[in-house]
C-alpha cells in the first residue's frame, strides 16, 4: 500500500504535512512517495495573485494564525517568512535530483528553513544550508538540481499533477487514483488506501 505526497516547498500546509507524514503513515502501514512539484503554473491558470490564500487580507491573516496555532500545537515551530510566496523551483529541482531517503531529509530541511527560520529558498545559500542540514554535499545537490534531465522531470511532474486534478498542496493520491487535498485530509487518504473508506468520525 502506498500513496503519493505532492508538495510545493513554498506551501504552508505542505510544511505541516511534511513534518508529520512519516509518523502518521508509518502507524497506518502505508508507504509514501514524496513528489515535489510547483503550484505556480497551476495558480497562474486560475488567475490567483501568487496564492489563493492571499486573495483577501482576512483570508491571509487567518491562514497565518491557523498555521501558527497548529505548528505550536504540534511542537514543530513556526515563523512567518519575510518573503511569501517564494520561488520554489530550485528547491523542487534539487529534491527531485535526490534519492527517496535523501529527498525526505532535504525537503524537511528546506521547509524548516522557510517556515521555522523564515528564510527565502530562492537564495542559493538557503538551499546549501538545507542540504548541509540533511547531511548532503551542498555542491553536489546544486549540481544535481542544474541537470537538464531534472528540469525536464519537474516539468513533467507539474503536468502529471494537473492530470491528477491537483490544484493545491499538499495533495495525496491513493493507489486507486483518488485525490485528497490538504494537511487535514491526510488521515482520510491513509484510511482510503487501507480500507477504501473515510475513517470514523470524519
| Binding residues for its own copies (CB under 8 A) | 42, 45-48, 52, 55-56, 58-59, 61-62, 65-66, 69-70, 73, 162, 165-168, 179, 181, 184, 197-198, 202
Q: How far is the CB of 22 from its own copies (least distance, A)?
A: 16
Q: Among residues 66 and 120, whose Cβ is nearest to its own copies?
A: 66
Q: How far is the CB of 106 from its own copies (least distance, A)?
A: 27
Q: Among residues 148 and 163, whose Cβ is nearest to its own copies?
A: 163
| DSSP letter assigned to residue 85 | S
Q: How far is the CB of 77 from its own copies (least distance, A)?
A: 16
Q: Among residues 42 and 98, whose Cβ is nearest to its own copies?
A: 42
Residue 128 CB-density burial (10 A; 0-12 exposed, 13-18 middle, 19+ buried)? middle
Under a CB-based contact definition with an 8 Å cutoff, are residues 190 and 198 in contact? Answer: no
Biggest alpha carbon distance in the chain? 48
Q: Among residues 69 and 147, whose Cβ is nearest to its own copies?
A: 69
| CA atoms of 124 and 27, how far apart (whole Å) | 36
Q: How far is the CB of 132 from its own copies (least distance, A)?
A: 32
Q: How far is the CB of 89 from its own copies (least distance, A)?
A: 21
Nearest residue to 87 via CA among 148, 43, 153: 43
Q: Among residues 70 and 128, whose Cβ is nearest to its own copies?
A: 70
Spatial CB neighbours of 121, under 8 Å, sequence gap ≥ 6:
9, 10, 86, 87, 88, 90, 91, 110, 113, 114, 127, 130
Amino acid at each position: 500500500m502506498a500513496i503519493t505526497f505532492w508538495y510545493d516547498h513554498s506551501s504552508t500546509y505542505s510544511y505541516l504535512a511534511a513534518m508529520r507524514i512519516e509518523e502518521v503513515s508509518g502507524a497506518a502501514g502505508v508507504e509514501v512517495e514524496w513528489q515535489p512539484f510547483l503550484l505556480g503554473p497551476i495558480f497562474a491558470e486560475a488567475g490567483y495573485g501568487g496564492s489563493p490564500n492571499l486573495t483577501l487580507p482576512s483570508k491571509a491573516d487567518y491562514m497565518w494564525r491557523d498555521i501558527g496555532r497548529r505548528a505550536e500545537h504540534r511542537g514543530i515551530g513556526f515563523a512567518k517568512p519575510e518573503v511569501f510566496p517564494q520561488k520554489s523551483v530550485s528547491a523542487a529541482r534539487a529534491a527531485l535530483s535526490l534519492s527517496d531517503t535523501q529527498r525526505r531529509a532535504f525537503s524537511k530541511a528546506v521547509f524548516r528553513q522557510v517556515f521555522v527560520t523564515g528564510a527565502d529558498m530562492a537564495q542559493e545559500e538557503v538551499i546549501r544550508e538545507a542540504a548541509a542540514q540533511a547531511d548532503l554535499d551542498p555542491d553536489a545537490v546544486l549540481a544535481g538540481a542544474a541537470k537538464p534531465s531534472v528540469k525536464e522531470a519537474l516539468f513533467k511532474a507539474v503536468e502529471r499533477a494537473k492530470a491528477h486534478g491537483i490544484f493545491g498542496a499538499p495533495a495525496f493520491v491513493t493507489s486507486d487514483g483518488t485525490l485528497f487535498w490538504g494537511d487535514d485530509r491526510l488521515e482520510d487518504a491513509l484510511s482510503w488506501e487501507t480500507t477504501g473508506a473515510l475513517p470514523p468520525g470524519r
